[in-house]
Amino acid sequence: MIDKRVGSTREAVADIFDGATVMIGGFGEAGSPIELIHALIDQGAKGLTVVSNNTGTGLVGLAALLRAERVSKVICSFPKTAGSTVFPDLYRAGKIELELVPQGTLAERIRAGGAGIVAFYTPTAVGTPLAEGKESRVFGNREHVLEYGIRADFTLIKGCKADTHGNVLYHRTARNFAPMMATAATVTIVQAADVVEAGALDPEAIVTPGIFVDRVVHVASPALESALNEAGASYP
C-alpha cells in the first residue's frame, strides 16, 4: 500500500530547512503553487535559493516569499513581469542575488539535473553577456556554451489532479516547469485540486510519473495570483 498523501500544506513543507534550494513551478500565475508557498512563508525557513521562471506579482505567493526576505538568491529567466515590484525593489537594494538564465537553458538545466546529465553544450546565449565567464567550445563550426544540471532540495508544484502514488496531471499552460522540477529535487511536493486513488488516472496520459513525487497534498480550490491581486490581498 503506497500513499503519498500528507494532511496539510503545513505538514508538506515542514522540513524545508534554512539555506535550502527550492524549485517552484509556474510561468506567471499559471502553475504557481500559491498555497504551498504561503505554507513555506508560515514555516519560516530563510536564506533560500529559489529556482523559478518568474518572481511573482503583487504581495502574494512567490512575491510574498521574497518580500518576507526569506530568499537570498533567485535563479530565474524573467524577474520583471508586469505587476512585479517586490523583486525589483529587493534587487536594486542589493538584498537579493540574481542568476539570470535563458528560459530554455533553465528548463534544460533542470531536466538535466533530474536525468543524471551533469552538463551539456547548448548554442543558446553564445556571444551574449549571459555566456560570459562560461566555458565554450566549437562543434561543427558553431560555438556552444557548457551548462550544468541543477538540482534542488525541494520542489513545490501545482497539479490539477494527482493520485496516491504521486502521478500528476496539469491544467493547460500550468504544466510549464513542473514536470522537470519534479524530477530534480530530493523531495518533490505537489499540491493538487483533485486527489484520487491509484488506478483512477489513465496510464497513457500521466505527465509526471509517481516515482518523481514524494508528497501529495490536497488543495481543493487553489488561489490565483491575479484574483488575489485584484482583491488587494497580501500575505501573510
Partner 1 sequence: MDARWNRHKRLAQDIPNGSYVNLGIGIPELVASHVPEGRTFIYHTENGLLGMGPSPAAGESDPELINAGKRRVTMMPGAAFFDQATSFAMIRGGHLDLSVLGALQVAANGDLANWSTGADDAIPAVGGAMDLVAGVKRVFVMTTHVTKEGEPKLVQHCTYPLTGRGVVTRIYSDLAVIDVTERGFALVELAPGIAFDFVQERTCAPIITNHARK
Q: Name which of residues 165 to 204 contact partner 1 (CB under 8 A).
A: 165, 167, 170-180, 183-184, 197-199, 201, 203-204
**Pairing status of strand 5-6 against strand 21-24:** unpaired
> Which option in partner 1, a copy of itself, none does residue 120 bind, with CB closer than 5 to 8 A by kind?
a copy of itself
Whose Cβ is closer to partner 1: residue 42's or residue 220's?
Answer: 220
How far apart CA 53 and CA 207 sit, in angstroms, is: 20
Compute how many residues bind a copy of itself; rule: CB under 8 A: 23
Q: Within positions 23 to 82, which residues make up the interface with a copy of itself, using CB under 8 A?
A: none
Nearest to 47 by CA among 17, 75, 23, 18: 18
Q: Are 156 and 24 in contact (CB under 8 A)?
A: yes
| Binding flag, residue 59, partner 1 (CB under 8 A) | no
| Binding flag, residue 155, partner 1 (CB under 8 A) | no
> Which option in partner 1, a copy of itself, none does residue 209 bind, with CB closer than 5 to 8 A by kind?
partner 1
How far apart CA 123 and CA 136 sit, in angstroms, is: 9
> Which option in a copy of itself, partner 1, none does residue 35 bind, with CB closer than 5 to 8 A by kind?
none
Whose Cβ is closer to partner 1: residue 39's or residue 178's?
Answer: 178
Q: Within positions 8 to 27, which residues make up the interface with partner 1, using CB under 8 A?
A: 27
Q: Are 71 and 45 in contact (CB under 8 A)?
A: no
State how far the alpha carbon of 234 is from the alpha carbons of 3, 30, 68, 125, 136, in Å: 34, 19, 11, 37, 44
Cα dihedral sign, 116-119-121-124: positive
| Binding flag, residue 163, a copy of itself (CB under 8 A) | no
Give residues in contact with a copy of itself (CB under 8 A).
108, 112, 115-123, 139-140, 142, 144, 169-170, 172, 202-205, 207
